[in-house]
Homo-oligomer: A and B are copies of this chain.
Amino acid sequence: MNKDLKVFENLESEVRSYCRSFPTVFTKAKGSIMWDKEGKEYIDFFCGAGALNYGHNDPNMKQKLVDYIMSDGITHSLDKATTPKQEFLTTFNDVILKPRDLDYKVMFPGPTGTNTVESALKLARKVTGRTEVITFTNGFHGMTIGSLSVTGNAFKRKGAGIPLHNAVTMPYDRYMDDTTDSLDYLEHYLEDGGSGVEVPAAVILETVQGEGGLNWASNKWLKRLEELCNRFDILLIIDDVQAGVGRTGTFFSFEPAGIKPDIVCMSKSIGGYGSPFAITLIKPEYDIWAPGEHNGTFRGNNHAFVTATEALKYWDDPAFEKAIHEKIEKVTSYLNRIVKDYPELDGYVKGRGLMQGISCGVEGIAEDVAAEAFKRGLIMETAGADDEVFKLFPAINMDNETLERGFDVIEESVKAAVAKNEPVTN
């Protein structure tokens, strides 16, 4: 191991994880390219697990941020009023909410995904006076106890060290098979006073499960879920932390379904530049918080307000969204071709938007593809309970040349992985 990595081994906790899959020391980044200490270049098909949808160090945001810092703008403000926060609120309302005919109050719950989820769960319980929450198989919502209670992964859950309560896991869209509508099941449980599952405060879900293996819910299923929630007076919470901010082609991932969630959780790319930031969107009629009932020291990260506001400006131009959709089509075609051309993967395409990947039927091969890609200068992650999926998470504004270059590297990596997995014959 090189000397630099030794520092992490000696001083950092065993909990560290990505530095094991990507064993090098990174120094700088621009757009979709990262460089390590040795000057080696990497194409980024990972995007900080969805926190860097606009790529690294976007020049517009960078300029605004540096100007702000140079002017001694307020950095940290808790929930005091500041100019950047005012601008963010106004821009978010004008550029995002109004054009989509959405009416939400914005809460700043603390700057991480798990914070917005915890705030949403608290509020839903307060609004309804109920305690239980329905979540879905393979959902991922965060690592603090409240969010972990509604997260499916057994390894993560076990980390709690205590039994997790107040949540019931229902089957996600197509959980059993492609023909059963899994909401029949939820509906039956809700209708039946003997089912052991009480009417919950809320249901919480991602429209595409980024950590859970790229499962995604159809528009029809989401629409029916919204109707069920209305019928039983249950709050619908969409956790758009990973699938939001253009990752699936639209700003909110749920736009194509035509639903209007009661609460929306956002983080990761909402800050634009990769700085910690999160917001919770609340239908005005449910904004019944007492002042300070939920709080957090870093809920006023003004650097993030500045870059977030700048990032939103992209969405003012309809061409931006159109370009994402074109990229999505490229990725979809590419992945379908790979599945067809490399039957040795025993794969099929999963996911939606720029959250797609190939689920491989051969044990270990998806991890091999990602490892080979890293060797060849491309960063890509695996997902799923057995790491059976390799995921393409390019920046939503990646230029076509880099995208194609990435495609080539991945195909080379697939070839290498397939070769490695070939039975030796002679």
Contact = CB atoms under 8 A, between A and B. Distances in A.
A39 to B, nearest CB: 13
Interface residues of A, number: 148
A105 B12 CA distance: 5
A75 B56 contact: yes
A105 B188 CA distance: 40
Given A126-B159, A274-B75, A212 B196 contact: no
A84 to B, nearest CB: 9
A11 B74 contact: no
B18 A80 contact: yes
Interface stretch (A288-296, A325-333, A360-368, A415-423): A288-296
Interface string A162-206: 110111110100011000100011001100111111100100000
A152 to B, nearest CB: 4
A125 B78 CA distance: 31
A382 to B, nearest CB: 12
B196 A151 contact: yes
Contacts of A132: 163
A166 B196 CA distance: 12
Contact of A77 (B17, B48, B90): B48
A319 interface: no
Interface in A2-60: 4-5, 7-8, 11-20, 22-30, 34, 37, 48-52, 56-57
Given A37-B83, A192-B138, A385-B192, A115 B118 contact: no
A216 interface: no
Interface string A127-169: 0000110011111001111110111111111111111011111
A52 to B, nearest CB: 6
Contact of A144 (B115, B125, B160, B180): B115
Nearest to A209: B194
Residue with the highest number of chain B CB atoms closer than 10 Å, among A48, A198, A287, A301: A48
A92 B13 CA distance: 14
Interface stretch (A217-225, A246-254, A275-283): A275-283
Interface string A77-112: 111111101100110110000000000011110111
17 contacts: A7-B89, A8-B85, A13-B105, A19-B80, A23-B81, A25-B83, A26-B77, A28-B71, A48-B297, A110-B112, A146-B146, A159-B294, A161-B201, A163-B166, A169-B195, A171-B185, A276-B276
Given A12-B108, A56-B76, A145-B145, 14 more contacts: A8-B89, A51-B76, A51-B298, A62-B70, A75-B275, A110-B112, A112-B298, A113-B296, A114-B115, A115-B144, A121-B161, A150-B196, A153-B194, A163-B163
